[in-house]
């Protein structure tokens, strides 16, 4: 590429002062191996020396000296920083090789659009995935550090709320591991998921300031920026005999790209998560500053930065917050512009080819504005015709539904949308007009009244059922109409999607609907977080191939009843329990009985997930223990119960549940009669890293949602992989886990999804169990203090004049206690318990996200592996 062009490319739009120094800097760049991703041609005449040539300990010391000014006397955080910045270079080498190859091959790409990516920590995952673990562990040893401790100094990247965001992270790992050309696209939130602390047993939320020490795992792409506009007006002008639409936004920001390389395991492929940061169009309003108006001078910066500042916690309350829509449009627009600009660089304006080169997966409704934005870019910016654009767009887009909770199926008031995105609102109106017209034709055989009813029920724009004066845009309907494929995330959930949530649509387009049962990466969730179990499995199977091919775990079934193997299996679990005990000691100051059954429930706090039901059973256990003689108690199964999870800041009932957990724990853990036999701890600030410590140590885990409410669950799969038994309802992926593990090995209880509607209607007349009544009286009567605070919680499930026990805790209570008794009986027979535990891991092959991603690639994306040559 000519030098001038390079100069223009890199510095277009840069302030004058930078242009003056451009020649020097640009010359400097010529010596670099410039990545294909940035859209630059290679100009390299000199190859930089790879850090692979520098021994790792020296490289770590170099990084500390030249990046941080440290000269010996390192802290653990230093050791982490030096290691991470050193590993980063190897990651970038792999990233560049992959992207050079992909640029050459020009395969079809999958773009995973998600408002959340819950990545957790990167160091361990990166060194293991790149096969550098031995080298860096040794290097750290030479510097006097242990890899595990050093890795602990990393802050979690918590750019997600829970399951949906973590799923996106697992998917990226699998896409890279399977050599699938694909990127994630999202938002680089400055503040991730809030940090949770406890104050007197109540949740308090603190900001997650995760970028203060820099982020070695990202690369800012100064040459990848796009303008994103909001508000303003739409005009039409004649151009020749064509009418063109012009949208003039009243506000504009810049989306600045940051790349986060994603290493695959056992492959040279390193793919990418591109996150967008919002920055102002102009740095600073100098005229306002000169006039002494400092506030105004800063205003644009603040307004822009506000867009990518915080991750929204997923509240149970309906969201109507404009900023959230702004965030959604911001990242979707930048991502689509980015993809189209790369497409055009190779294929010019041959947009009919787009569906063969790109497809987009909408992770829930959050990125659904993509339907209108892709239309707008192709119509208004590229000048294509409506019909052509609609065909292209629907071929490129697919939508995954992740929840049946009506409050999470986003609907935006037409007024809000029209003000913020006037052109998109027009486009959605035209889509809806075409859609409802088409429907009228399709349903022509129905009686007029019935037809009108069906059309109204399927209209993308509809009345707010709670406010007749307000019209809403139903984002899920927009996604269904505007996509090629729609999928649920577990078999039962996909059936609910077809039979209930989108049944009208399913009847019309049955082949559009699919199931893709979730999965989790066996790297992070078994091999890297439980290396002891991983090496036992590898030794036993005689191969580590199971890490890429989890179906091979089935080979463990042959050892499930083998006593010698059970002893080894038990020893690993014991070691992991000791680690969790250490953590409990650190947080709560208590020693726990490490021979007790470790019983865990970790997930977001939500009424449908029923942590409350778990607490009720713990109180019941406590009361039984209290009644026993010391001799009888010795025969009881001791339990250490752990509950962890965050409550959305505005979710009042969830916060009360947390307080109930801590209040019950305060009583139980101090009681000298029972504390040997029962403990309950709330572990604050549940996040990915905490899960990596807790899950390997768990013996029993609780997945006890009301049947039909948990779309899939993914922690259930992580527990299963780590040989943890499950007590659960017939819900989400529990069902498939039970099928793979052997249903008799799972403690299943509770009513079935098909019964729920009827039972809800009859709940008022349901005859509650006497034990339930007793517990309600205990909590209401102040057995755990805070009685006024707990009153609404009791009322929500027990006072039918106030709450309606929507999640049917009372209906499942008795069968839950029975299942808990079965757990105790089984635990007393350690050999049987261990047999089951082994059967869980052996049956977890299906739940690798590699399997899930392979299915998406084959059935929805039609994207093929493209592996760089080493
Ligand atoms: C969650 C569901 C889980 C599911 C994950 C991943 C949202 C909106 N949904 O059951 O509650 O496992 O998505 O699919 O976070």
**What is residue 313's DSSP assignment?**
P
Instruction: List, for residues 559-585, the tens digit of each pLDDT value.
Output: 999 999 999 999 999 999 999 999 999
- Check if the beta carbon of residue 733 is closer than 8 Å to that of residue 709: no
Q: Is 163 in the pocket of ligand 1 (CB under 6 A)?
A: yes
CA of 713 to the centre of ligand 1 (A): 6
CA torsion through residues 22, 28, 31, 37, sign = negative
Query: Which position among 98, 403, 662, 714 bears the catalytic label?
Result: 714
What band does 7 get if pLDDT is binned at 50, 70 and 90? very low
Predicted local distance difference test score (pLDDT) of residue 43: 56
What band does 270 get if pLDDT is binned at 50, 70 and 90? very high
Predicted local distance difference test score (pLDDT) of residue 776: 98
- CA-161 nearest atom, ligand 1: 15
Burial degree of 2 (CB within 10 A; 0-12, 13-18, 19+): exposed
Q: Which of 446, 437, 515 is nearest to 481 (CA)?
A: 437
701: phi then psi, degrees, rounded to nearest 5: -130, 150
Q: Is 303 a known active-site residue?
A: no
Q: Which residues, listed in sequence order, are joined to residue 185 by a DSSP beta bridge?
A: 113, 274
Instruction: List, for residues 177-201, the tens digit of each pLDDT value.
Output: 999 999 999 999 999 999 999 999 9
CA of 508 to the centre of ligand 1 (A): 26
Q: Is 384 in the pocket of ligand 1 (CB under 6 A)?
A: no
Average pLDDT over residues 165-178: 98
CA of 171 to the centre of ligand 1 (A): 14
What band does 133 get if pLDDT is binned at 50, 70 and 90? very high
Return the residue matching tokens 């307004």: 303
Please state, in angstroms and as integers, the Cα–Cα distance from residue 34 to each residue in 48, 476, 543, following that order.
11, 41, 39
Instruction: Quote the CA–CA distance of 19 and 96 in Å, as a whole number.
Output: 27
What band does 587 get if pLDDT is binned at 50, 70 and 90? very high
**What is residue 47's DSSP assignment?**
P
**What is residue 303's DSSP assignment?**
H
Greater confidence, 291 or 795? 795
CA of 403 to the centre of ligand 1 (A): 6
Please state, in angstroms and as integers, the Cα–Cα distance from residue 199 to each residue in 137, 607, 663, 681, following that order.
38, 22, 12, 14
Burial degree of 379 (CB within 10 A; 0-12, 13-18, 19+): buried
- Check if the beta carbon of residue 856 is closer than 8 Å to that of residue 519: no
CA torsion through residues 623, 626, 632, 633, sign = positive
CA of 284 to the centre of ligand 1 (A): 41
Report whether pLDDT(332) > 50. Answer: yes
Query: Which position among 603, 655, 656, 679 bears the catalytic label?
Result: 603
Q: Is 402 a known active-site residue?
A: yes
Instruction: List, for residues 671-694, the tens digit of each pLDDT value.
Output: 999 999 999 999 999 999 999 999
444: phi then psi, degrees, rounded to nearest 5: -60, -25
What band does 22 get if pLDDT is binned at 50, 70 and 90? very low
**Can you give the C-alpha Rg of the chain in angstroms?**
28
Instruction: Quote the CA–CA distance of 485 and 856 in Å, as a whole number.
Output: 10
CA of 851 to the centre of ligand 1 (A): 18
Return the residue matching tokens 């899939």: 712
Q: Is 313 in the pocket of ligand 1 (CB under 6 A)?
A: no
Predicted local distance difference test score (pLDDT) of residue 23: 30
Burial degree of 402 (CB within 10 A; 0-12, 13-18, 19+): buried
Q: Is 424 a known active-site residue?
A: no
Predicted local distance difference test score (pLDDT) of residue 320: 53
Please state, in angstroms and as integers, the Cα–Cα distance from residue 785 to each residue in 130, 695, 780, 791, following that order.
53, 31, 9, 11
- Check if the beta carbon of residue 357 is closer than 8 Å to that of residue 108: yes
Q: Which of 204, 347, 181 is nearest to 269 (CA)?
A: 181
Predicted local distance difference test score (pLDDT) of residue 407: 81
Predicted local distance difference test score (pLDDT) of residue 208: 93
Q: Is 401 in the pocket of ligand 1 (CB under 6 A)?
A: no
Find the range with the poorest average confidence among 71-80, 246-255, 541-550, 800-809.
71-80
DSSP string, 696-742: HH-SEEEE-PPTT--S--SHHHHHHHTT-EEEEES-TTHHHHHHHH-
Neighbours of 283 (CB within 10 A): 11
CA of 700 to the centre of ligand 1 (A): 21
Among 168, 324, 489, which is best to mutate for testing ligand 1, by the most ligand atoms less than 8 A from CB? 489
Instruction: List, for residues 704-762, the tens digit of each pLDDT value.
Output: 999 999 999 999 999 999 999 999 999 999 999 999 999 999 999 999 999 999 999 99
Instruction: Quote the CA–CA distance of 630 and 625 in Å, as a whole number.
Output: 9
**What is residue 526's DSSP assignment?**
I
**What is residue 110's DSSP assignment?**
E
Q: Is 518 in the pocket of ligand 1 (CB under 6 A)?
A: yes
- Check if the beta carbon of residue 498 is closer than 8 Å to that of residue 474: no
Among 114, 170, 403, 736, which is best to mutate for testing ligand 1, by the most ligand atoms less than 8 A from CB? 403
Q: Is 862 a known active-site residue?
A: no
Query: Which position among 90, 101, 609, 621 bears the catalytic label?
Result: 609
Among 164, 606, 704, which is best to mutate for testing ligand 1, by the most ligand atoms less than 8 A from CB? 164
Write out the two tokens for 700.
């029993």
What band does 299 get if pLDDT is binned at 50, 70 and 90? confident
Q: Is 402 in the pocket of ligand 1 (CB under 6 A)?
A: yes
Write out the two tokens for 247.
């949208």
Which residue minimizes the CA distance to atom 13 of ligand 1? 164
CA of 161 to the centre of ligand 1 (A): 10
Predicted local distance difference test score (pLDDT) of residue 45: 67
Query: Which position among 703, 718, 763, 835 bears the catalytic label?
Result: 718
Q: Is 199 a known active-site residue?
A: no
Q: Is 261 in the pocket of ligand 1 (CB under 6 A)?
A: no
Q: Which residues, listed in sequence order, are joined to residue 87 by a DSSP beta bridge?
A: none
What band does 152 get if pLDDT is binned at 50, 70 and 90? very high
Which residue minimizes the CA distance to atom 3 of ligand 1? 713
Give, in degrees to the nearest 5, the angle at Cα 619 between 617 and 621.
Answer: 70
Sequence-distant (6+) residues with CB within 8 A of 702 are: 599, 600, 601, 614, 726, 727, 728
Q: Which of 687, 173, 323, 757 is nearest to 499 (CA)?
A: 757
Q: Is 732 in the pocket of ligand 1 (CB under 6 A)?
A: yes
Q: Is 162 in the pocket of ligand 1 (CB under 6 A)?
A: yes
Q: Is 733 in the pocket of ligand 1 (CB under 6 A)?
A: no
CA of 127 to the centre of ligand 1 (A): 29
Tell how far CA 534 is from the center of its chain. 25
Query: Which position among 402, 577, 610, 703 bears the catalytic label?
Result: 402
Average pLDDT, the chain: 93
Query: Which position among 195, 357, 424, 604 bears the catalytic label?
Result: 604
CA of 518 to the centre of ligand 1 (A): 9
Which residue minimizes the CA distance to atom 15 of ligand 1? 164
- CA-167 nearest atom, ligand 1: 6
Instruction: List, for residues 370-389, the tens digit of each pLDDT value.
Output: 999 999 999 999 999 999 99
Percent of the chain's residues with pLDDT above 70:
94
Report whether pLDDT(35) > 90. Answer: no
Predicted local distance difference test score (pLDDT) of residue 316: 54
Sequence-distant (6+) residues with CB within 8 A of 152 are: 76, 689
- Check if the beta carbon of residue 649 is closer than 8 Å to that of residue 316: no
What band does 37 get if pLDDT is binned at 50, 70 and 90? very low
535: phi then psi, degrees, rounded to nearest 5: -75, -30
Q: Is 604 a known active-site residue?
A: yes
What band does 242 get if pLDDT is binned at 50, 70 and 90? confident
- CA-710 nearest atom, ligand 1: 10
């Amino acid at each position: 590429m000519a030098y001038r062009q390079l100069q223009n490319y890199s510095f277009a739009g840069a302030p004058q002062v930078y242009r003056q120094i451009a020649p020097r800097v640009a010359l400097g760049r010529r010596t670099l191996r410039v990545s294909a991703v940035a859209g630059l041609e290679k100009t390299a005449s000199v190859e930089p020396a790879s850090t692979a040539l520098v021994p790792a300990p020296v490289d770590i010391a170099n990084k500390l000296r030249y990046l941080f000014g440290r000269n010996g006397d390192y802290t653990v955080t230093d050791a982490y920083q030096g290691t991470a910045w050193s590993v980063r270079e190897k990651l970038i080498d792999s990233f560049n090789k992959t992207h050079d190859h992909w640029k050459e091959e020009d395969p079809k790409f999958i773009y995973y659009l998600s408002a959340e990516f819950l990545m957790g920590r990167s160091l361990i995952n990166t060194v293991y995935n790149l096969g550098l673990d031995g080298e860096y562990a040794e290097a750290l040893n030479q510097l006097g550090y242990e890899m595990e401790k050093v890795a602990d100094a990393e802050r979690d990247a918590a750019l997600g709320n829970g399951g949906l965001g973590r799923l996106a992270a697992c998917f990226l790992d699998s896409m890279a591991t399977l050599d699938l050309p694909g990127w994630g696209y999202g938002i680089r939130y400055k503040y991730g998921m809030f940090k949770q602390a406890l104050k007197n047993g109540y949740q308090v939320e603190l900001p997650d300031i995760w970028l203060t020490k820099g982020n070695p795992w990202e690369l800012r792409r100064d040459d990848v920026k796009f303008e994103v506009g909001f508000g303003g007006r739409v005009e039409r002008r004649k151009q020749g005999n064509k009418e063109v639409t012009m949208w003039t936004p009243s506000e504009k920001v810049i989306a600045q790209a940051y790349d986060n390389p994603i290493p695959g395991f056992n492959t040279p492929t390193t793919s990418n998560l591109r996150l967008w940061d919002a920055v102002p169009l102009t740095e600073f309003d100098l005229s306002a500053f000169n006039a002494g108006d400092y506030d105004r001078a800063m205003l644009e910066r603040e307004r822009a930065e506000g867009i990518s500042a915080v991750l929204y916690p997923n509240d149970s309350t309906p969201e109507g917050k404009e900023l959230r829509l702004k965030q959604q449009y911001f990242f979707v627009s930048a991502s689509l512009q980015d993809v189209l600009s790369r497409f055009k660089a190779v294929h010019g304006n041959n947009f009919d080819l787009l569906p063969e080169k790109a497809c987009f997966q909408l992770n829930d409704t959050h990125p659904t504005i993509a339907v209108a934005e892709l239309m707008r870019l192709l119509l208004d910016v590229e000048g294509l015709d409506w019909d052509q654009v609609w065909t292209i767009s629907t071929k490129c887009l697919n939508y995954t539904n992740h929840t049946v909770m009506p409050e999470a199926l986003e609907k935006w008031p037409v007024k809000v949308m029209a003000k913020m995105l006037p052109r998109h609102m027009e486009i959605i109106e035209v889509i809806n007009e075409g859609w409802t017209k088409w429907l009228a034709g399709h349903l022509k055989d129905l009686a007029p009244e019935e037809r009108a009813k069906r059309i109204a029920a399927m209209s993308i724009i509809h009345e707010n059922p709670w406010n007749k004066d307000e019209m809403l845009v139903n984002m899920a309907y927009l996604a269904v109409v505007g996509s090629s494929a729609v999928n649920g995330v577990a078999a039962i959930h996909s059936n609910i999607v077809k039979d209930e949530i989108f049944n009208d649509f399913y009847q019309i387009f049955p082949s559009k609907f699919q199931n893709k049962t979730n999965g989790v990466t066996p790297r992070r969730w078994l091999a890297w977080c439980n290396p002891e179990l991983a090496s036992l499995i590898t030794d036993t199977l005689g191969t580590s191939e199971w890490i890429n091919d989890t179906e091979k775990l089935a080979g463990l079934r042959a050892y499930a009843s083998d006593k010698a193997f059970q002893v080894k299996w038990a020893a690993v679990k014991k070691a992991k329990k000791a680690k969790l005990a250490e953590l409990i000691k650190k947080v709560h100051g208590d020693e726990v009985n490490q021979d007790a059954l470790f019983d865990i429930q970790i997930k977001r706090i939500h009424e449908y997930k029923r942590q409350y039901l778990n607490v009720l059973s713990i109180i019941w256990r406590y009361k039984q223990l209290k009644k026993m003689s010391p001799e009888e108690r010795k025969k009881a199964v001791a339990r250490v119960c752990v509950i962890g999870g965050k409550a959305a800041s505005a979710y009042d009932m969830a916060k009360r549940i947390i307080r109930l957990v801590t209040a019950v724990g305060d009583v139980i853990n101090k009681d000298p009669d029972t504390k040997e036999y029962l403990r309950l701890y709330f572990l604050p600030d549940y996040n990915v890293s905490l899960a990596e410590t807790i899950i390997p140590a768990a013996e029993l885990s609780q997945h006890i949602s009301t049947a039909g409410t948990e779309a899939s669950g993914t922690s259930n799969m992580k527990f299963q992989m780590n040989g943890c038994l499950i007590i659960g309802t017939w819900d989400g992926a529990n069902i498939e886990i039970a099928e793979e593990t052997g249903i008799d090995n799972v403690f299943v209880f509770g009513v079935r999804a098909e019964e729920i509607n009827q039972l809800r209607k009859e709940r008022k007349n349901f005859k509650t169990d006497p034990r339930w009544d007793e517990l309600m009286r205990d909590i209401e009567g102040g057995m755990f203090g805070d009685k006024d605070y707990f009153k609404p919680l009791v009322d929500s499930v027990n006072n039918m004049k106030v709450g309606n026990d929507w999640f049917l805790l009372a209906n499942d209570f008795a069968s839950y206690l029975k299942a808990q008794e079965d757990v105790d009986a089984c635990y007393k027979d350690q050999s049987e318990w261990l047999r089951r535990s082994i059967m869980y891991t052996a049956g977890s092959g299906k739940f690798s996200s590699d399997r899930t991603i392979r299915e998406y690639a084959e059935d929805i994306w039609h994207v093929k592996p493209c592996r760089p040559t080493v």
